[in-house]
Amino acid sequence: MSRDQKFFDMYSLVIGVLAAIALAILVLTMKLSDLTQGIYTRDAVEYQAAIAERIRPVGQVYRPGEEAEAPEPTVETVAEPEPVAAAMSGPQVYNSACIACHSTGVGGAPVLGDAAQWADRIAQGMDVLNQHAIEGYTGSAGYMPAKGGRADLSDEAIAEAVDYMVSESR
């Protein structure tokens, strides 16, 4: 057998296999087409509705004098999330919220560790100090925002921070 004959035989075999695969794919698609043809037919209501939805106009144009009813506006209310009580100790609360004013005395805030500035406040009692820290306070000496401006902190965390500052300032 010559080399050309071997090539021709191999070429014919490859072409035959490819033709058989193409024929199998054709038969398979025709079979699937027959099975799914009952789902959508051009006269079916669902098919017509799907086409109408795809080709419907995006908007409408009205000439002067024509009116169209507008749908009622809807207002969605979103529930405001509850403040998350930060699980921090007194020193951590001080370092994250209180240090801004109580380290330098901004707004008349008593400086941490200065016993003279804290003496009058400590004399009022811990209940008054905690109330002023939690609810806020405006006095002749300065201003204390409620919870130091950190509404996300719990009352207990603020009380722990006050305890820490008092213990460091005696």
pLDDT tens-place values along the chain, 170 residues long: 678 888 999 999 999 999 999 999 999 999 888 777 666 667 778 888 988 999 998 887 888 887 777 778 888 888 776 655 547 888 888 888 888 888 888 888 888 888 888 888 888 888 988 888 888 888 777 788 888 888 888 888 888 988 988 888 87
141 DSSP assignment: S
Q: Measure Cα distances from 102 to 107, 111, 118, 133, 142 in Å.
A: 9, 5, 11, 12, 12
| CATH 1.10.760.10-classified regions of the chain | 90-168
pTM of this structure: 0.50
Cβ neighbours for 42, distance < 8 A, ≥ 6 positions apart: 48
d(CA 33, CA 145) in angstroms, rounded, equals 74
- The CATH class, in words, for 90-168 is mainly alpha
User: By C-alpha distance, which of 33, 6, 103 is closest to 14?
Assistant: 6
